[in-house]
Structure 1
Amino acid sequence: MPVPKDEFDSLYPCDFYTPAELLDEDKLYTVYEIARLLQDLDPDEDIGQDVENVLLDWAIPWVMFHSDDLVVAEPRDDDEPGFYGVDT
């Protein structure tokens, strides 16, 4: 259900990094690592499954929106996620 804006103390611009600003052009990242980076966290930081699920809600649309600026690498193993990087 929609919530009135005045119920919040502060509102912020919805400004996200571009792939070139967020990712090292010589590396590939999982969507989980991208989720952490979008929150200015270390890509290897242990954040717990509940927090990770929330961050993925931000990261997956970001990857889709910036798909023209990204490359994708297939997982190396069946239990590994895919990897994304800057299209250079």
Structure 2
Amino acid sequence: MPVPKSEFDALPPCDFYTPAELLENEQMYTVYEIARLLQGLDPDADIDRETEDILLDWAIPWIMTNADELVVAEPRDEDEPGYYGLKE
């Protein structure tokens, strides 16, 4: 059910990082690492599975929205996810 804006103390703008602000130019990242970075966490932060699932809900659309600025690499092993990085 919708909630009135007046019930909140602050309403900052809904700004997301650009790929260049979030990712290092010479590095490739998994969707899991990007999900952590979008929340200001270290890419290797230890988080529980439930939290990781929620963070992925943010990361996957971010990757799709910013696809023109990203490159993708196939997984190195079949049990590993793919990698994303900045286009040069």
TM-score by length of 2: 0.92
Q: Report the alpha carbon displacement of residue 3 of structure 1 after superposing the two structures with TM.
A: 3.2
Where does the alignment leave 5 or more consecutive residues of structure 1 unmatched?
A: none
Match of 2:72, SS? strand
| Partner residue, 1:36 | 36
Partners of 2:73 and 2:7 lie apart in 1 by: 43
Match of 1:16, SS? coil
TM-score by length of 1: 0.92
* Amino acid of the structure 2 residue aligned with 1:54: I
| Partner residue, 1:65 | 65
1:52 aligns with 2:52: yes
Match of 2:80, SS? coil
C-alpha deviations, 1:42-66, integer Å up to 9, x for none? 0000011111111111111100000
Partners of 1:55 and 1:85 lie apart in 2 by: 18
Q: Report the alpha carbon displacement of residue 8 of structure 1 after superposing the two structures with TM.
A: 2.7
| Partner residue, 1:9 | 9
Where does the alignment leave 5 or more consecutive residues of structure 2 unmatched?
A: none
Say how many residue pairs are matched. Answer: 88
Partners of 2:47 and 2:83 lie apart in 1 by: 20
Match of 1:43, SS? coil
* Amino acid of the structure 1 residue aligned with 2:66: H
Percent sequence identity over aligned pairs = 70
Indicate the RMSD between aligned Cα atoms, in angstroms: 1.1
* Amino acid of the structure 2 residue aligned with 1:33: E
